[in-house]
Structure 1
Amino acid sequence: MNIKLSLQTRAVSLLARREYSRLELEKKLASHAQTPEALSEVLDVLEQRGLLSAERLVEQVVHGRRHKYGAQRIRHELKEKGIADHLISTAMVDLKETELQTAREIWRKKFGVIPENLKERSKQARFLAGRGFSAEIIRQILVCSDEEE
């Protein structure tokens, strides 16, 4: 019982600092658990008590990253954290609505001028792709940026 309490205390301590997915918490606590069953039991209790929530994690990640990154990058990050596909899909619906505007703002901050040649265009496209924006969004930004100013 003492080990479970210690494991639960560690988990709560970690969750007090930031949100974790179940997978992340399993990885962090695996070395402290005597058996995988004990760890699983502790995580189940945390989920039942509402201390461990995938929905809150998705909300936190999307809120914190939506002004810097595109939907593809955020989707990848959520998958890496072990979030269920239906939660990711729900979050992506909201992101898709504002993705073009976000990409345009990021592009304006970084470059602000229309690429004059293929080399500059490629550089700007790579930057936006690295931030997780789709090829369609990048095309719209680089083609339409001069029309909107």
Structure 2
Amino acid sequence: MFRRSQLDSPQAIRRSAMDLLARREHSYAEMLRKLKQRGATSEQAEIELDRLQDDGLLSDERFCEAYVHARSQRGYGPQRLREELRQRGVAASLIEQVLGDACWDWPARAQETFNKRFPEGKASDPKDRAKQLRFMLYRGFGSEF
């Protein structure tokens, strides 16, 4: 864990933020939380994060697109992704913009996820059908699969 005194200068805060961004994209809110955990003050961290945004190194839009791409590849649907992104501090309008992009083809992804989990197809037994529906709802897809 970082000692509190490590992030007492703008250079140290920027270096820590760049280290985090080198691993993966982060949202502004995630970065702020992580920098504060490492000992930066809110004001200093916000100043450096604003600079990173101005330099094009930190982008909520880029984070949102990368997150949706990665999680949708693992079989998660728009409802679950919407909630996960909201918890990560992404603006609702940006979430809707990214999830609404036509390139995602959510019905096809829902069918793919369903077929992977249930290769035998839709169950005829109501109890098994309810199990399938719960799985799809947990994954963030509606009941329209």
Q: Structure 2 matches for 1:112-127, cutoff 5 A?
A: 112=119, 113-127=121-135
TM-score, normalised to structure 2's length? 0.86
- Give 1:3's match in structure 2, choosing from 6, 9, 18: 9
The number of residue pairs the alignment matches comes to 137
Q: Judge conservation of contact 2:8–2:39 (CA < 8 Å) in 1.
A: no
Which of 59, 64, 67 is matched with 2:65 structurally?
59
Partner of 2:51: 45
* Per-residue CA distance 1:30-62 (angstroms, 9 max, x = gap): 033453211111111111111110111011011
Query: Which of the two has greater helix per residue?
Result: 1
Q: What amino acid is aligned across from residue 130 of structure 2 in structure 1?
A: S
Coordinate RMSD, CA, aligned: 1.9
- Percent identical among aligned pairs is 37
| Alpha carbons of structure 1 residues 3 and 101: separation in structure 2 relative to 1, 3 Å | same
2:13, 2:40 within 8 Å by CA — same for their partners in 1? no
| CA distance in structure 2 between the aligned counterparts of 1:13 and 1:98, rounded to whole angstroms | 34
Unaligned runs of 5+ in 2: 1-6
1:62 counterpart letter in structure 2: V
- Answer with 118-127 or 33-42: which moved more: 33-42
Hey, what's the Cα distance between the residues in 1 that align with 2:40 and 2:101?
41
Following superposition, the deviation at residue 4 of structure 1 comes to 1.2
Corresponding residue number in structure 2 for 1:110: 117
- 1:1-149 matches, within 5 Å, as 3-67=9-73, 68-94=75-101, 98-112=105-119, 113-135=121-143, 137=144, 141=145
CA shift in 2, pair 1:97/1:45, >3 Å: closer
Gaps of 5+ in 1: 142-149
Call closer, same or farther: CA 1:76–1:93 in 2, change over 3 Å. same
Aligned residue for 2:34, secondary structure, equals helix
